[in-house]
Structure formats: C-alpha cells, structure tokens
C-alpha cells in the first residue's frame, strides 16, 4: 500500500514554494472546483472554522481525488485531537499555541508513528482502513512519517523567552506566528500592525531562520477562499 505523497514536502525538496488555499468553512465542492487548477494543498482551519470530523474527512477524500494535500490547523495539540484529524486523512498538522519546548514535543509526538512519535494506528481512512499487508506495515509507518508535515503556530508572549527550546525539537518542518493572538498577548489587542508587535515578530522570524528553521512564507503561498470569493465579487460589481 503506497502512502500518498505530500505535495508541500515535495515542493520543499525541489526548492520551490507550494501553492494552496485556506478553508474556514466546510466545502468539498470548493476543493473539487479548484481541483481544475494546479494547487498543491488545501489548508483546513479546524480551530476557528465550523468543522465536524465527518466534514474534514469528506474534504480529505475530495482532496485525494483531485490530487492535492490536505493540511489542518487543529483545535488543540492533544494526542486524541490530532489523531482524529490524521485518521480522517490529513497529511499535515499545524498545532496552535506552541509556547514552550514541551508543547513542541507534544505536537511532534502526536503527529508521527514510532520511533519518531507515538501516533496510534487505527483502521480508518487515514491509514487506508488497515488494508496493508503485514510484511509492509513497517515501511508504511516510515512512509507515513516521511509524508507528514508538522507546523508550529507561535501565538503567545512566552515564545519570546521559550523559542530556543522550541527550536531544539526535531520534527517540526516550519513555524508561523498567529499575529492577532501574539499582539494581544504582548499588550496590543487588535493592533497587530503596531511597530512593537512587528518588531517582535520579525525578531522571532530572524531567530527561527538563524537556527536553520523555516517560516510559512519560506515554503508556501496561500490565500483564504473567502477572500478569493470576495475579490471575485468585487470585480463583478465594478462593472455596474
């Protein structure tokens, strides 16, 4: 049984950026329609969007049909939460509120099979319903790990002091900053454009890159589907 290739990781290996779009709301039809374009991934907002697990699975199913990689921001980094997303077929996880080394270790542990983590194996869609010959399962675990994308979302003031520890954790492919929550955490609620917030964010990004890590802007180009729809509507209204 062959594990589907993660197109974001493939793009990283090829030295290019991956292109995708973010879904706040459940819609397999959006994924199907945009399947006519050559996107690399769909990013599911499972933290703030109204997603049920059955809806996550349906989007993952359509993503597989059109040949793109499903990635999700999960509601929290608990092992059982992440496992439910992986069992639906998600091949990338962004963990929210990674503020300490322990948070980063928990995220990694939940995303990977052993020996890299402690992800549980179940007979669900994310593990091909366990239709895997017994003599191929060891390799299947390895291939699944090799095609798992792990992102850490830094959103808390504690990151300023804890970042070095976070950067020591192996298995995180990229990091990003949740600018709204980060701004609030350092005393600027609703003001992520404040120069102090921007300076702190740029310092964090510089430290990540200096340590050999990557940030989201280094590896992907993405936009929100609802923003894409609004821009399309605005173009139509310009003709009135």
Q: Which pair of tokens denotes residue 39?
A: 């996107």
Known catalytic residue at 48: yes
- If you search the block for the tokens 């703030």, which residue do you land on? 48
Euclidean distance between CA atoms 225 and 236, whole angstroms: 17
> Cα 124 from chain centroid?
20
- If you search the block for the tokens 């374009």, which residue do you land on? 37
Q: From 203, 205, 178, 206, select the one nearest 192 (Cα to Cα).
A: 178
Euclidean distance between CA atoms 45 and 40, whole angstroms: 17
- 144: number of Cβ within 10 Å: 22
Catalytic residue among 48, 97, 179, 226: 48
Active site residues: 48
């Amino acid at each position: 049984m062959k594990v589907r290739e993660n197109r974001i990781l493939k793009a990283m290996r090829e030295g290019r950026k991956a292109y995708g779009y973010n879904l706040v709301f459940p819609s397999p039809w959006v994924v199907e329609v945009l399947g006519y374009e050559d996107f690399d991934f769909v990013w599911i907002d499972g933290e703030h969007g109204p997603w049920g697990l059955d809806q996550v699975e349906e989007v993952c199913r359509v993503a597989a049909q059109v040949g793109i990689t499903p990635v999700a921001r999960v509601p929290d980094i608990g092992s059982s939460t992440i496992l439910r997303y992986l069992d639906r077929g998600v091949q990338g996880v962004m963990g929210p509120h990674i503020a300490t080394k322990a948070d980063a270790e928990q995220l990694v542990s939940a995303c990977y099979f052993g020996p890299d983590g402690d992800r549980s194996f179940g007979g669900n869609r994310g593990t091909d319903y366990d239709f895997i010959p017994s003599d191929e399962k060891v390799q299947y675990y390895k291939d699944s790990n090799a095609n798992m994308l792990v992102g850490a979302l830094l959103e808390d003031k504690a990151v300023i002091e804890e970042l070095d520890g976070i950067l020591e954790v192996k298995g995180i492919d990229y990091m990003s900053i949740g600018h709204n929550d980060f701004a609030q955490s350092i005393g600027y609620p609703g003001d992520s454009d404040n120069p102090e917030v921007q300076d702190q964010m740029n310092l964090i990004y510089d430290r990540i890159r200096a340590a050999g890590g990557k940030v989201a802007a280094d590896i992907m180009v993405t936009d929100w589907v609802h923003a894409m729809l609004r821009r399309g509507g605005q173009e139509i209204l310009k003709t009135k």
